Copies of this chain bind each other. A is one copy, B any other.
C-alpha cells in the first residue's frame, strides 16, 4: 500500500509498519528490523505469519530471520500442552536424551508395520513415529495401521515393562484430522505427528486446541524451502502453536542445515519464552548409531535423537540394534 494513498490518521499513526533499524551485516546485505502493529495479526497464527512473511516471501532476496512477540500477543497462543517435561514423564526418562525411530517404508501392509513397530519397541525406544510419508494410502489405511501399531507397541511395552509411545502421522483437512485423532485415541494413542506447513498452521493450532490431552510432534515437510530461518519456523513458530516436539534435520546428515542452525533451533524450541513450555528438539535425518555420542555432546540431554533408516537397515537384528541405540543414550547420561 503506498503510504501516500492512506488518509486515515489513526492508520498512519497506529497501524502502518515502521522500520525500526537497518544494519549492514556484510557488504550489500542488510539486517532490517520492522515493527508491526499487534492488531494487524488478529491474534491468529495464519494472519501472524501472513504479516511476518506473506508477500515478503515472494521477494527472493529476503529472508525472515526472527520475530519478537510482545507479551500481549504471545499470551494469545497456547504453546506446547505437554512439552519437554510432559514427554519425559510419559516415558519415564529423566536426565537423559530421548530416543526415537520411524516406521517405513510406504507400501507395507499395516500388519508388517505393526511387526516393525513391535521389534523397535522391544529395543526400548521412547518414541516410534510413523514416517511422515505414511498417510491414508490403500496399502496401510490410517485406521488399520494405527490399530496394528498401537497393539504391537502395547504388547512390547507389556513384555518389557517399557513405555514406548507410538506417534501416528496425520493427514488431510481438519475434519479428517479429527477423525484420525479420535481413531487414534480409541486405540489408546496419546501422541501424533503433524506437518504444519502442509496441513496449515491454523489447522494444527485448531487440533492442539481441540485435543489438549494429545502430544503433538511437528514435522518439517514443506517447511525447509521457505526463506524463513529454521530456528524461527521449526523452533519458535511450531512451538507457538503447540508442538510438544519438533523434528529437524541434524547437521552432517543428508540435509544441509549447519551446526549453528541446529543449535539455534534447539535453543529456540527449549529456551524461556513467556509462559510457554519447552518443546523437544528432535534431531533426525540420515542419523546413524555411531553418531550418538557426538550428538549428545552437541545437544546435551534435552533432545530426542531419532534414527530411522539407520536402524531399519539392521533388518533381522532390528531389536538388538535398537537396544544398542537406547543403551548408548542411557550410558551417556
Contact = CB atoms under 8 A, between A and B. Distances in A.
Contacts of A136: 42, 44, 47
Interface string A205-245: 11000000000000011111111100000000000000000
Contacts of A133: 40, 47, 50-51, 54
Query: Which size class do A's interface residues fall under?
Result: 35 or more
A183 interface: no
Given A40-B106, A200-B200, A255-B59, A135 B205 contact: no
Contact of A107 (B37, B198, B202, B206): B37
A199 interface: yes
Contacts of A173: 174, 200, 202-203, 205-206
B223 A172 contact: no
A271 interface: no
A14 B255 CA distance: 27
Interface string A2-29: 1011111011001110000000000000
A284 to B, nearest CB: 10
Interface of A: 1-2, 4-8, 10-11, 14-16, 37, 39-42, 44, 46-47, 49-51, 53-55, 57-61, 104-108, 112, 131-133, 135-139, 171-176, 195, 198-203, 205-206, 220-228, 249, 255-257, 285, 308-310, 312-315
